[in-house]
Amino acid sequence: MIRALTMVFALLLAGGATAHKASDAYLTIERNGPSLQGQWDIALRDLDNAIGLDVNGDGEITWGELKARRVEIDAYAFGRLRIASAGETCPLTVSDRLADSHTDGAYAVLKFAGSCPQSGPTLTIDYRLFRGVDPQHRGLLNFVESGASRSVVFSEETPVWVVGGDSAGPLSQFATYVHEGIWHIWLGFDHVLFLLSLLLPAVLVRRDRHWQPGGSFRSAFIEVAKVVTAFTLAHSITLSLAALGVVSLPSRWVESAIALSVVLAALNNLFPVVANGRWIAAFAFGLLHGFGFAGALKDLGLPTGSLALSLAGFNVGVEIGQLAIVALFLPLAYALRATWGYRRLLLGGGSAAIAAVAAVWFAERAFDFPLFIAWASGP
């Protein structure tokens, strides 16, 4: 009993004299367009602790011992650091190996370079050095871009940080995300086709189980405005909720459901179930599409320092892209609404084609089975 208690006294005094520094590593990453330059200082004591450097067991680590373990050190360190841009990993290679000393001893210095296959406003950095070996370890990142730098700390609780995209000032950052939002809706064919499926009948009215040309431009405009507003409102809600981490859905589920929503919207033109309440369908399915936009935004990454600004910019971009489509579509559709070509070819044939393409997407996404190399990709 006394022995055991004594042990505890020893432990108790530990709090009184905190000293030294716990384990840190210093990471610098400089981005210049697609290319990355970096330096990673890792304490020799920590490396010895994780993979063993003191080969001869004399309690000293020499430069020779460090060099002898360079392959293992590279593999260990870079197996625990992942840098990604727009969802794609940026491969890194070690360019130089040096030594340095910090306040708590000697460090191995790894210089590295990399290049990102996909450009994006931000970098997502996933850092798990010494995971499982020392839960108190911290990775101190200094990210440098366009002459500005910022620092974040990786820990077991926060192993992932998104950096960049905010170094050029708020206005240009906002503009970057507006741009990304516009391109996302233009290149995300599933959103465009969904919207078109809902808009094609807007210049028509359903009478006696047949599509008839609508009356005034005004009524067509109001119909389009209702659909677009409902769709916008709905996807803005879910985009924000998902981007802010309030709601999270599995992306395969979301993508499959989006494809299905396109199928249903197109089929509704051929076999109308919902004729004059399309704005309700636009709202309901718009909720789904918002999750899809959020998935795309996740790949781009949101700068942690100014998340609301980037989110708003992306949303504005999506709306601009969408309004551009509407601005092109509405006058054309209105002008052609009374033609046989519009009702048969565009509404009928177009909707059938959209339904068929979307059905293929659905099969691919839901069953993870590539039917053909998709010329159109989802978000």
Partner 1 sequence: MGIVGTGLRALGVASILFTAFAPGAGAAPYVPTDDAVVLERLPERGDPKLRELKRMRVALAASPRNLDVAASVARRAITASRETGDPRFLGQAQAALSPWWTLSDAPPVVVLLRATIRQSQHDFDGALADLDKLLMANPRAAQARLTRATVLTVVGRFAEAQSDCRQLVSAAPPLVVAGCLAPPTSLSGGAEGAYAGLVQALETPGTDTGTIEWALTLAAEIAQRRGDPVAAERHFVAALALDPSDPYLKGAYADFLLDSSRPHDVLPLLAADTKNDALLLRLVLAEQQLPDQREAFVAHRSEMAARFDAARRRGDSLHRREEARFRLAVEADSRGALTLARDNWKVQREPADLRVLIDAARAANNAPTLRLASDWIAQTHLEDKALLAALAGL
Site for partner 1 in 24-43 (CB under 8 A): 24, 26, 28, 39, 41
- The set of residues, in sequence order, having a beta carbon less than 8 Å from that of 250 and lying 6+ positions away, is none
For 376, the token pair is: 């159109």
> Do the bridges between strand 24-32 and strand 138-145 make them parallel or antiparallel, or are there none, so unpaired?
parallel
Residue from 245, 273, 368, 372 touching partner 1 (CB under 8 A): that is 245
CA-to-CA distance for 264 and 271, rounded, in angstroms?
A: 10
79, 91, 105, 331: residue in contact with partner 1 (rule CB under 8 A): 105
- SS3 per-residue string spanning 93-121: EEEEEEEEEECCEEEEEEEEEEECCCCCC
Closer residue to partner 1, CB minimum distance, 33 or 245: 245
Alpha carbon distances (Å) from 186 to 87, 133, 178, 183: 19, 47, 13, 5
Choose between 66 and 259: whose C-beta lies nearer to partner 1. 66
Rounded Cα distance between 136 and 140, Å, is: 13
In angstroms, what is the minimal distance from the CB of 73 to partner 1?
A: 13
Contacts of partner 1 in 248-267 (CB under 8 A): 248-249, 251
Q: By C-beta, is 33 or 57 nearer to partner 1?
A: 57
Q: Exactly one of 51, 55, 94, 106 binds partner 1 (CB under 8 A); which one?
A: 106
Q: Applying CB under 8 A, which of residues 56, 88, 115, 153 lies at the interface with partner 1? A: 153
Helix boundaries (H) for 116-160: none
Asked if 18 touches partner 1 (CB under 8 A), the answer is yes
- Name the minimum Å distance from CB 151 to partner 1: 4
Task: Let me know: does 342 contact 201? Beta carbons within 8 Å.
Answer: no
SS3 130: coil
Residue 240 forms beta bridges with which residues?
none
Shortest distance (Å) from residue 63 CB to partner 1: 4
Q: How many angstroms separate the CA atoms of 48 and 68, rounded?
A: 13
What is the smallest separation between the CB atom of 204 and partner 1, expressed in angstroms?
Answer: 39
Q: How far is the CB of 315 from partner 1 (least distance, A)?
A: 15
Rule CB under 8 A: say whether 152 interacts with partner 1. yes
| Identified binder of partner 1 from the candidate list 199, 227, 242, 318, rule CB under 8 A | 242
Tell the smallest beta-carbon distance from residue 94 to partner 1 (Å): 13
Q: Draw the binding track, 160-179, toward partner 1 (x: CB under 8 A; -: no contact).
A: xxx-----------------
Residues in the chain: 379
Distance CA 315, CA 196 (A): 19
Nearer Cβ to partner 1 (25/192): 25
1 binds partner 1 (CB under 8 A): yes
- Contacts with partner 1: how many residues (CB under 8 A)? 95
Beta carbon nearer to partner 1, 195 or 242: 242
Q: Give the three-state DSSP class for 190.
A: helix
Instruction: Compose the 108-147 pattern: x for residues touching partner 1 by CB under 8 A, - for all others.
Output: -x-x------------x-x-----xxxxxxx-x-x-----
Instruction: Please tell me whether residue 41 adopts helix, strand or coil conformation.
Output: strand
Binding partner 1 (rule: CB under 8 A), the pick from 34, 159, 213, 348 is 159
Q: How far is the CB of 216 from partner 1 (least distance, A)?
A: 45
Burial label for 291, CB within 10 Å (0-12, 13-18, 19+), is: buried
Q: Rank residues 54 and 274 by Cβ distance to partner 1 and give the closer one.
A: 54
Q: Does 71 bind partner 1 (CB under 8 A)?
A: no
Q: Which residues pair with 124 in a beta bridge?
A: 84, 162
Provide CB contacts within 8 A for 170, sequence distance 6+: 306, 309
